[in-house]
Amino acid sequence: MLALSMVEEIDRLLQEGELSQRRIAERLKVSRGTVSAIASGQRGLHGRTSEDEAASETPTLPAERCPNCGFLVYKPCLVCRTREYRQGRRVLAALAVERSATPRRRRRLPLRRRRHRTCRARVA
């Protein structure tokens, strides 16, 4: 997400009308699509502020010991969730190997249904 100051600068340069959208994108190191979206009104004049960054990076609760693994973590424990996910993937992989090892028999259709599966071309 772009910073709010960058979005406001793009809008200001567009309002001045001295530079093309391509030149604004080159100068501010953003994509031409972003500049075009701001110019056409498809993208609102919003962005990330420094308060948003600080709030998202600072944990709100103190770190605690996880009762399962004992790591000092911020809840929920991502270590335990990662281990559960990997264990589940191992089980699925083992089931897939087991299933592919057993040969599968093809079920044959009754004779009358097999005859109807032949290709019939329409003649105009």
Rounded to a whole number of angstroms, the CA Rg of the chain reads: 30
Token readout for 65 is 């010991």
Whole-structure pTM value: 0.43
* Inter-CA distances, 94 with 97, 101, 118, 121, Å: 5, 11, 40, 46
8-26 mean pLDDT: 94
Pairwise CA distance, residues 37 & 3, whole Å: 15
pLDDT recorded at residue 2: 86
| Residue pLDDT, tens place only, 75-122 | 888 889 999 999 999 999 998 888 877 666 677 666 555 555 555 666
| Residue pLDDT, tens place only, 32-57 | 999 999 999 998 888 887 765 556 66
What DSSP string describes 86-101?
A: HHHHHHHHHHHHHHHH
pLDDT recorded at residue 57: 62
